Amino acid sequence: MTTGKQVFSTISTNGQLELSIVDIETPTPGADDVVVRIEAAPINPSDMGPLFGPASMDQASMDQASMDGTGDGAKLVAPVPENRMGMVAARLGQTLPVGNECAGTVVATGDSPAAQALDGKLVSIMPGAAYAQFACVPAATCLVHNDTTSPQRAASSFVNPLTALCFLETMRMENHKAIVHTAAASNLGQMLVRLCQVEDVPLVNIVRTQEQADILTGLGAKYVCNSSDNDFMGKLTEILVETGATLGFDAIGGGKMGSDILTAMERAASRNASGLNTYGSSQLKQVYLYGSLDFSPTTLNRAYGMAWSIGGWLMPMLLARIGGERTGELRQRVADEINTIFASDYTAELSLQEMISPEAIARYLPKKTGEKYLVAPQKGL
Ligand SMILES: NC(=O)c1ccc[n+]([C@@H]2O[C@H](COP(=O)([O-])OP(=O)(O)OC[C@H]3O[C@@H](n4cnc5c(N)ncnc54)[C@H](OP(=O)(O)O)[C@@H]3O)[C@@H](O)[C@H]2O)c1
């Protein structure tokens, strides 16, 4: 029986967030399972909710956060504001595993031929408990990598690469011909720029600083709009006229960006309309809110006629829609192009202990452009 360390997140009924590292016995693999020794796991925005819950870890909380104990037994303890406790009623007192995705080496297998075929291979997995030294998962869920790929590169194989691919699947299924993307200098956004170049799909990138615009232009992006510019709406509208983009993916979620995109789409779609159309253009304008970088309410000004739609969008739901066979093709494409289109680079590697320290949290929580952190569960323990 192998024992490994694993990070857990707990919010107690008395309003304390606790991140702890616990020794866990790795299950003996069933016939169709494999045990993966986890080498690298990214910290993505979607990992932060389960990690911190409504503690939000703003400056006030961080000032009060502290490490309780020393060495392997050290825990991060931080207060959860009283007015947010109602948001987490469903998880109070539960010790939750954290970390969506990771990569590592198969070190033990079940008896089935499919499981044994993975022995010693570098695989990416989505165990939902990626901030750990070992995971036992079904062999069928493993994405096997080529010999030239490193665990660091393989670590981010699902969340962002499959999302970029699924944006294009959505575009084609819903009969659009170009895409608008916000927070476009993100890790995902940079992958999308490379993917759309290869696929010859017009991509309209919306960023909020000139530095971000420069990053994307440096990658060869043709259309980049800075929402901080005075003429943002005018420039966006001109690009939408040129590209015909009627589909937007908004990672910001809160505020008025989704609405602004629809407004610009409507202006572009009705540019050459003759006469008065009370209900606006008949062209469907679709924006999906797929992230919550801004937690404030979403504001809609409804200045875009009646042919528009805003909805939520989640990559696993899109995968369910396209089915297992197509999903398998997309996964294999990620493995084949993980060092090019879908490559992620990292600011630093953190041990399990480092990742739960207030100093490290202060670095990775802001989700700044170009700053992505990798957890290395075998480091320093
Ligand atoms: N729905 C799904 O299935 C799905 C799947 C994968 C990813 N996602 C979402 O995709 C987004 C990007 O993920 P990632 O891993 O690529 O992120 P990342 O590399 O950490 O980058 C985050 C980016 O967002 C920008 N940003 C942060 N707050 C912002 C705000 N309020 N307004 C505008 N820009 C803001 C940052 O720019 P600054 O430097 O200016 O702060 C940075 O460029 C996240 O929201 C994530 O949750 C969703």
- Tell me how far the alpha carbon of residue 186 lies from the centroid of ligand 1, in angstroms: 5
Per-residue pLDDT tens over the stretch 283-304: 999 999 999 999 999 999 999 9
pLDDT band at 132 (very low <50, low <70, confident <90, very high): very high
* Tokens found for residue 21: 């590292």
- Predicted local confidence at residue 229, as pLDDT: 98
Contact status, residue 25 vs residue 1, Cβ threshold 8 Å: yes
- Tell me how far the alpha carbon of residue 183 lies from the centroid of ligand 1, in angstroms: 6
Pairing of β 33-42 and β 373-375: antiparallel
The CATH number of domain 159-317, selected from 3.40.50.360, 3.90.280.10, 3.40.50.720, 3.30.565.10: 3.40.50.720
- Average pLDDT score over residue span 2-21: 93
Q: How far is residue 190's CA from residue 181's CA, in Å, rounded to a whole number?
A: 11
- Tell me how far the alpha carbon of residue 250 lies from the centroid of ligand 1, in angstroms: 9
- Pocket-testing residue among 290, 367, 368, 373, ligand 1, by greatest number of atoms within 8 A of Cβ: 367
| Domain ranges in the chain with CATH number 3.90.180.10 | 3-156+344-375
The CATH number of domain 3-156+344-375, selected from 3.20.20.70, 1.10.1040.10, 3.90.180.10, 3.40.718.10: 3.90.180.10
- Predicted local confidence at residue 82, as pLDDT: 84
pLDDT band at 60 (very low <50, low <70, confident <90, very high): low
- Predicted local confidence at residue 346, as pLDDT: 97
CB atoms near residue 75 (< 10 Å): 18
Pocket of ligand 1 (CB under 6 A): 44-46, 159-160, 163, 183, 185-188, 208-209, 251-252, 290-291, 293-294, 313-315, 367-369, 372
- Predicted local confidence at residue 381, as pLDDT: 64
Instruction: Report the percentage of the chain scoring pLDDT > 70.
Output: 98
The atom of ligand 1 lying closest to the CA of 42 is: 15
- Predicted local confidence at residue 179, as pLDDT: 98
Per-residue pLDDT tens over the stretch 200-231: 999 999 999 999 999 999 999 999 999 999 99
Query: Residue of the nearest CA to atom 25 in ligand 1?
Result: 183
| Domain ranges in the chain with CATH number 3.40.50.720 | 159-317
- Predicted local confidence at residue 61, as pLDDT: 66
